[in-house]
Amino acid sequence: MITAPNHVPERLALLATSAVDPFLTQELLTGEQVHGGIDLAKVVEPLPEDDARWLVEPVRSLVEDAMYEFREDRTRADAWLATRLHATLRLTRREAADKRLWNHIALAVAPDYVAWRHLSEPTANKPERRIAAERFRGPADRQCFSRLWWAAELFRNGRDYEPVEAACGNQDLIHTVLRMELIDHRPTAQALVRLLKSGKVTTGREIFGLSVAINAAGATLVYDVLAPDGPRDPARLRDWIAEAGSAPPVDRRRLPDGPDEDPVREESVVALTDYFAELFETAPVRGRKSED
């Protein structure tokens, strides 16, 4: 397994996707050898030096702890790291939508974590172990670090990250649901977590079938009417971001706190949970009829 690059930068930066490919070598994608880091540092765009959020050490420390803590079960690292990455990288959504930031974290700061987490196991059809290139510079729902940050952003309930742990503990949920436009509706996200925690929906086929039904119903039903969500105060998020420089490192044992925003209305979550449970009864779940 590869180790960290010889040169790990002190600060985060922006790495254009067009500059990524020369560093996605065969040796890197097979987990054999990482780039040195010096040449990559020449093609990045620096971020403001007066912003404490761009220090690399807190992120680097997190991924090293994750690799040690979950060395026996790599997939469990997602639920642990998602909440702490979000609380450490206090970003606006606009900043988080910039793929260049995630490119830099994956290639310059923690390519060894990407390899550790996403190096495939050999199979009869694919005997070579390999990391998909999209884990370094892919879309938000596939890139190693952006998918975790966005899962935490979309599934947190105000400052409470507990729903994020539940969501990220199911790979099928985060892979499928992060592609849904409706997931930005907070009661929808919380209702899905409730169904998952209750055991009503568990398998990948069930999650996919329910997501299809939810999207189809959303074309004719405005979920904001069925399950209204109060307006969010942008000042609370700005204050949380402004406190990044004085915030202590996130706790490794207990969940951190997110922005001090109001939680989702309980009546809205209950209404959508019940509605989605009804949708699930007729959702197109492949194989369900034959199993029944």
Span 38-53, average pLDDT: 94
HSE at residue 29, side-chain half, CA atoms within 13 A, is 14
pLDDT of 222 strictly over 90: no
Q: H or E element: which one contains 126?
A: none
pLDDT value of residue 134: 96
pLDDT of 292 strictly over 50: no
Query: Cα–Cα distance between 150 and 86 in angstroms, integer?
Result: 8
pLDDT of 276 strictly over 70: yes
pLDDT value of residue 124: 63
pLDDT value of residue 289: 58
Binned at pLDDT 50, 70 and 90, residue 22 comes out as very high
DSSP assignment of 65-121: HHHHHTTT-GGGHHHHHHHHHHHHS---HHHHT-HHHHHHIIIII-HHHHHHHHPPP
pLDDT of 290 strictly over 80: no
pLDDT value of residue 47: 96
pLDDT of 182 strictly over 80: no
pLDDT value of residue 291: 46
Span 255-282, average pLDDT: 94
pLDDT value of residue 216: 84
pLDDT value of residue 232: 86
Residue 158's alpha-carbon distances to 87, 190, 229, 281, in angstroms, are: 12, 11, 12, 30
pLDDT of 108 strictly over 80: yes
Residue 157, beta-bridge partner list? 160
Binned at pLDDT 50, 70 and 90, residue 93 comes out as very high
Query: Cα–Cα distance between 160 and 157 in angstroms, integer?
Result: 5
Q: Tell me the two tokens of residue 11.
A: 């600060």
Residue 160, beta-bridge partner list? 157
For residue 57, the SS3 value is helix
pTM to 2 decimals? 0.93
The answer to whether 176 and 211 have CB atoms below 8 angstroms apart is yes
For residue 46, the SS3 value is strand
Q: In 3D, which of 127, 157, 124, 144 has the Cα closest to residue 30?
A: 127
pLDDT, tens digit, for every residue of 141-167?
999 999 999 999 999 999 999 999 999
pLDDT of 34 strictly over 50: yes
pLDDT of 70 strictly over 50: yes
- End-to-end alpha-carbon separation of the chain, Å? 45
